[in-house]
């Protein structure tokens, strides 16, 4: 439960129709297993204690009296256990029978939630036997074993120790209705929805059920645990497969597939992220008056079993990754196309270095010109070699431009920079920040002035990862007239270029491959024996880590302690804890101190949910203090 992770499970234990002793024992075994595995919430199927398919046996006092006794027995079984249990049971009150979900915890019944929507079609005839919770008009409580227990549709169960854990309950068909109970529950504050279900299996229904549960979790920004009835239910008219699902904000985290042999599936819900999503989503406006039922659940470390993607910006599935790359390229090129049309410029100018970023920018420009049906010669790529330029990058830049058919020009800036050193009295043998930034600013000056000469605009090449770290020279490569890569992280650029290799000739693809294999470098320090000596990732850290830090800071609202834990899990076997922590501190320092470079960024297309554009996506004062974040990070040193 630490850092907002809640371990949950959906179980479909075997049942026997009308055999309450057997069914209660099977539920108790699931509860014992859940307790042993550190599960905080266990959801069992609809009407599990009796079985769902009892038919008119639900009219009999014998079955209903035994159901109450079984519920109380199961409740006693939870005593001393930390797991919250949701189980289906038929209960009578005020002369009516209700299809209910009981919420049990530590020897107590926290509350009873009746089913609202009673299906009366396609083999289901619940309205024949049960009363809808919507029609309940009682006092909002039921008496069991002499104890008064909250009863009704207006119940929310709140964990005192983990305020982000607010449980709402709906039963099976309640989810399938046009107006769902879960919508009202989540708007009233529920972050987790438990659904004890008895949904029969039909051809294609598993796909629809999966889509429904997943989409509901996305729409309501919640965790959703659906436990479906399975083996042992009557097959007289229907078949039940035990298809159970655990989803979170549109992501299927765990699934017990139809007719699977296992009886339980579990994973962790990220409640902290869900709460962050709700806070930052202006469309999510809480409302509704519900009764809050408090319960205690001592905090404990939750072992993470759910996958934490080390490359959150890069889809793991190859086909999805391929389509994502195409979509991003289209967004980038379409944005540039619109800008060219609006300005009416004669040329578009870019500095081409033979590195990843300028290569992506050039390809975006090519696609934009192709869409405009203008000649690629209206693209002017300028190579500006200086002290650190290697033959490898220079040659790759020239070959790529030739094969793409764009205009190409070389402007050696060495003498201009040396003259500048003389003008300001800088020793050219002193390879400090002035030595480096003078080259970057000279290159920008050349690009801007050439653009003026040819009636063009300068297309920026800096990417999202560099902007996060401030790895750009202020009023140098930080500046352009339109930055096409501004919201594309470094880890994703590689995959976009790999996809682009499929769109060009074998010769062009070979150049792109060598560019991908070239160490990332600004090439501002003199080369040694013709080789790059200034490798960016040696200086500021691996971009894989920094992109991970950036994603979780901005997209999930995580602090340093939580980011560190997630990174250790995601990069286990790749980076050790000390390495991760070292670069996390570097990231935090640079992210805060370099905001001034982001506050005056040129326009550029937004392609993903994480952006550092000062025009609404990231609004932070340039003088905001990093003290709180660094203090939290420093405290992690001995962890």
Which residues are tagged catalytic? 46, 115, 172
533: left (phi over 0), alpha (psi -120 to 50) or beta: alpha
Gap between the Cα atoms of 634 and 74, Å rounded: 47
Q: 31, 44 in Cβ contact below 8 A?
A: no
528 pairs with which residues across the strands?
Answer: 531
- If we measure between CA atoms, which residue out of 149, 210, 196 comes closest to residue 168? 196
* Residue 380 phi, psi dihedral angles, 5° rounding: -115, 110
Strand order in the sheet with 244-248: 251-256, 244-248, 223-228, 192-197, 166-169, 155-159, 291-295
376-405 burial, b at 16+ Cβ within 10 Å, e below that, comes to eebbbbbbbbbbbbbebbbebbbbbbebbe
CB-based contact 521:534 (threshold 8 Å): yes
Tokens of 64: 């209903």
Longest dimension (CA), the chain: 101
Instruction: Please name the helix (run of DSSP H) or strand (run of DSSP E) that holds residue 126, with its range, or none.
Output: none
Q: What is the C-alpha radius of gyration for the chain, rounded to an integer number of angstroms? A: 31
**Regarding beta strands 84-93 and 41-43, do their DSSP bridges make them parallel or antiparallel, or are they unpaired?**
parallel
For residue 557, list its beta bridge partners. none
Which pairing describes strands 41-43 and 347-351: parallel, antiparallel, or unpaired?
unpaired
| Structural contact between residues 267 and 305, judged by C-beta atoms closer than 8 angstroms | yes
């Amino acid at each position: 439960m630490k850092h907002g992770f809640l371990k949950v499970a959906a179980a479909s234990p075997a049942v026997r129709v009308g055999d309450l002793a057997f069914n209660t024992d099977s539920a108790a075994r699931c509860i014992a297993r859940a307790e042993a595995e550190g599960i905080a919430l266990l959801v069992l199927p609809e009407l599990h204690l009796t079985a769902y398919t009892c038919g008119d046996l639900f009219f009999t006092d014998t079955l209903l009296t035994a159901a109450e006794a079984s519920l109380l027995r199961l409740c006693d079984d939870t005593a001393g256990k930390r797991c919250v249990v949701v189980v289906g049971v038929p209960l009578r009150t005020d002369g009516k029978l209700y299809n209910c979900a009981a919420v049990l915890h530590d020897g107590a019944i926290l509350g009873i939630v009746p089913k609202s929507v009673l299906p009366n079609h396609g083999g289901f005839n619940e309205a024949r036997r049960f009363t809808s919770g919507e029609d309940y008009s009682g006092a909002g409580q039921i008496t069991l074993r002499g104890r008064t227990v909250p009863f009704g549709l207006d119940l929310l169960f709140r964990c005192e120790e983990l305020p982000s854990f607010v449980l709402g309950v709906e039963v099976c068909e309640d989810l399938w209705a046009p107006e769902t109970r879960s919508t009202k529950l989540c708007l009233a504050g529920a972050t987790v929805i438990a659904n004890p279900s008895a949904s029969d299996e039909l051809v294609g229904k598993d796909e629809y059920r999966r889509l429904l549960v997943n989409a509901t979790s996305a729409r309501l920004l919640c965790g959703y645990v659906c436990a479906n009835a399975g083996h042992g239910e009557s097959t007289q008219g229907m078949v039940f497969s035990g298809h159970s699902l655990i989803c979170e904000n549109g992501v299927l985290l765990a699934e017990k597939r139809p007719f699977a042999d296992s009886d339980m599936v579990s994973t962790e819900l990220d409640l902290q992220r869900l709460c962050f999503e709700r806070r930052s989503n202006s469309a999510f406006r809480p409302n509704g008056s519900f009764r809050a039922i408090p319960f205690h659940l001592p905090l404990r470390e939750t072992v993470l079993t759910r996958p934490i993607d080390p490359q959150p910006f890069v889809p793991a599935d190859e086909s999805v990754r391929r389509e994502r790359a195409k979509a991003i390229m289209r967004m980038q090129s379409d944005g540039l196309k619109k800008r060219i049309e609006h300005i009416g410029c004669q040329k578009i100018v870019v500095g081409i270095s033979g590195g990843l970023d300028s290569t992506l920018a050039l390809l975006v420009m090519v696609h934009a010109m192709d869409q405009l049906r203008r000649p690629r010669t209206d693209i002017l790529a300028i190579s500006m070699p200086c002290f650190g330029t290697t033959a490898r990058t220079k040659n790759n830049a020239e070959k790529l431009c030739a094969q793409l058919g764009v205009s190409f020009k070389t402007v050696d800036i060495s003498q201009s920079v040396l003259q500048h050193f003389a003008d300001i009295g800088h020793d050219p043998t002193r390879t400090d920040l002035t030595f480096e930034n003078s080259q970057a600013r000279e290159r920008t000056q050349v690009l801007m002035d050439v653009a003026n000469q040819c009636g063009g605009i300068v297309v920026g090449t800096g990417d999202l990862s560099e902007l996060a770290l401030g790895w750009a020279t202020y009023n140098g490569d930080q500046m352009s007239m339109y930055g096409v890569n501004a919201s594309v992280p470094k880890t994703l650029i590689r995959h976009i270029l790999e996809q682009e290799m499929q769109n060009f000739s074998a010769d062009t693809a070979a150049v792109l491959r060598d560019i991908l294999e070239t160490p990332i470098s600004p090439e501002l320090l003199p080369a040694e024996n013709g080789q790059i000596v200034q490798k960016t990732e040696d200086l500021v850290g691996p971009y894989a880590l920094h992109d991970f830090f950036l994603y979780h800071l901005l997209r999930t609202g995580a602090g340093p302690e939580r980011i560190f834990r997630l990174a250790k899990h995601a990069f286990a076997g790749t980076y050790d804890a000390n390495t991760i922590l070292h670069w996390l501190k570097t990231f935090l320092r640079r992210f805060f101190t370099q905001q001034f470079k982001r506050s005056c960024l040129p326009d550029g297309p937004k392609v993903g949910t994480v952006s550092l554009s000062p025009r609404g996506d990231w609004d932070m004062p340039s003088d905001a203090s990093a003290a709180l974040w660094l203090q939290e990070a420093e405290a992690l040193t001995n962890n």
